[in-house]
Chain A
């Protein structure tokens, strides 16, 4: 049986890297896509060194054409496409009064645009290939409840859930399932920056910053990227074939649907 192919954006670090490593372990050929081609290549090397199969592709998910080209390149290099993980995102943190038009536009373009173009590009290829597939996008605990200082980020993550439900309904006839994952507080470069920025805003320490987010976690520990990757592994595999339009919360018990 030939290997299945997974395309992952933001695969160069953090959650995206963990997803890439896990799906490679699960037997996928992984297209590691990132704005930063160097980090994408490092992850690709890691996968190959562990006996897996991967390619590295540069992509700016805010640009529709870029996303289409990156997915086409995945098909050209890997021979198939089965799973698309719209993972890339940014998390600007500031009081709502400090949000500028530039920050608003950039965050929307990456966090929502990236998902929309990823869905469109995936559907185009799935249709060409004549088979269905799985589209999985990054929402967040902050896409379930509002978090202070994360107005724009939260808005985009609520939007990802809405797009996920709509796309699931529209694309079902093509054999495509569409789901999302909602991580909580994950120990990644992005989260550490968020914690540091919050600490700076409040004149407190970095640890205080992390604690502000972590204190409401039922499991009382911050998530590792691997925790999220394990959920995405489930959503990428056959065990989730009968699940669509859902946003699975993997946040250690912060939000309950």
Chain B
């Protein structure tokens, strides 16, 4: 049984919640951050009922000092920080010609700058500790391939993959591993919005985009939060101690590296 501490951003819903749930089951003390206080409260209640030790903090991952405060909160409450999951992110589904400066800035702030700030905040604390620190970033199939209507999101996730490598190289000397997980098509509220935007652009029925995108998945089903929880569990454990700088595809077989 571990007595270690994990931070999960965007951990109160969707894939992030699946990650937090699995890490809780693995015995981690949890620090969950999210923008949505209600999600945080509901998730905290649910997890406490399951016997997990969990605190929550409302915060904006795109703000550097919020990420610092999150890391500090883990340290103040639980005495250490072993695993940091930069999970929070937003999508943006727009025809290329309609991409605006505002969308670019928002997506990059939440999906990319947040990863830089999160890595920095986590590493500052992990550097001072014994043992191996694990920083785990949400990449995506869109971090390996790029898709129509998802240019901004694909660019952002490619950036996360790159940051993962650079950070892995720089922080190795401090006994910190940096990796990412690359989900495929998960039927969460993010995909509800992706589906709706594509339906609008292409004149499709609701659900048609999800169906088209997931038609070729080798495992024959869309992704569940538990699938992402499973790989993050591996990346958070000592079994992945010799793996660093990798962006591992966990997409049921859509993109292959």
Contact = CB atoms under 8 A, between A and B. Distances in A.
A248 B203 CA distance: 39
Nearest to A230: B239
B246 A168 contact: no
B242 A230 contact: yes
B219 interface: yes
B54 to A, nearest CB: 22
Nearest to B247: A257
A253 B245 contact: yes
Interface residues of A, number: 34
Interface string B220-257: 10011001001101100011111111111111110011
Contacts, number: 100
A234 B172 contact: no
Contacts of A238: 230
B257 A219 contact: no
Contacts of B193: none
Overall SS of chain A's interface = mixed
B50 interface: no
A220 B238 CA distance: 17
A215 B223 CA distance: 39
B242 A250 contact: yes
A123 to B, nearest CB: 15
Contacts of B240: 230-231, 234, 250
A172 B218 contact: yes
Contacts of B169: 218, 253
A246 B248 contact: yes
A218 B230 CA distance: 26
A251 B247 CA distance: 13
Interface string A245-257: 1111111110011
Contacts of A168: 218, 253, 256
B241 to A, nearest CB: 7
Given A168-B218, A218-B172, A227-B242, A241 B227 contact: yes
A227 B230 contact: no
A145 B122 CA distance: 32
Chain A CB within 10 Å, residue with most, of B172, B224, B238: B172
Contact of A233 (B172, B218, B239, B252): B239
A9 interface: no
B165 interface: yes
B70 interface: no
A223 interface: yes
Interface in B142-158: 144
Interface string A199-227: 00000000000000000001110010001
B171 to A, nearest CB: 10
A250 B253 contact: no
B138 to A, nearest CB: 15
A257 B182 CA distance: 12
A36 interface: no
A249 B164 CA distance: 14
B233 A239 contact: yes
A120 interface: no
A192 to B, nearest CB: 18
B8 interface: no
B251 A242 contact: yes
22 contacts: A218-B168, A218-B244, A218-B245, A227-B241, A227-B242, A239-B230, A241-B230, A242-B224, A243-B248, A243-B250, A244-B218, A244-B252, A244-B253, A245-B218, A246-B248, A246-B256, A249-B246, A250-B240, A250-B243, A252-B242, A256-B245, A257-B257
